[in-house]
Amino acid sequence: MPYDSNNVFAKILRGELPSVKIFEDGQTLAFMDIMPSAEGHTLVIPKESSETIFDLSQTGASALMATTQRVAGAVRKALNCEGLMLVQLNGTAAGQSIAHVHFHIVPRSEGLDLRLHGRAKADPQVLEPIAARIRAQL
């Protein structure tokens, strides 16, 4: 199946949809998840048009992982969380809901229940101060 250039992340990359950005370089973008599972839930995407990890070039995959590692460290420090989950899904059967490869960075603490992803939209004004704390740790 060809890459759908009208998916939500492609529109964010083109500036057609807003996002609360955390980090951007020539190959990747990290931003707050608008429907977070936990406070600080962050997404990292490549700028390369790739639906799954299998479609991504090695250069793109390296850049995606490097940014994920860097941003995950900043999320951990900013939220002072005990742990964090990295989630990367490939294909609808695996639960991928947006057809553009991406990593979820989800802060975790003992006893913290995760909210179901995609159920409630967060206010960008609530997300921005969290994003600022994460950016300060980069």
Give the separation between CA 97 and CA 66, rounded to whole angstroms.
Answer: 23
Three-state secondary structure call for residue 114:
coil
CA 78 to chain centre: 16
Q: Which two tokens stand for residue 136?
A: 């300060």
Q: Which two tokens stand for residue 22?
A: 């955390």
Cβ-contact 34, 138 below 8 angstroms = no
Alpha helices for 2-106 (secondary structure H): 8-13, 58-79
Q: Residue 30: what are its φ and ψ, rounded to 5°?
A: -120, 135
Q: Which residue among 41, 102, 104, 117 is the active-site one?
A: 102
**Residue 102 is a catalytic residue:** yes
Residues that are catalytic: 102
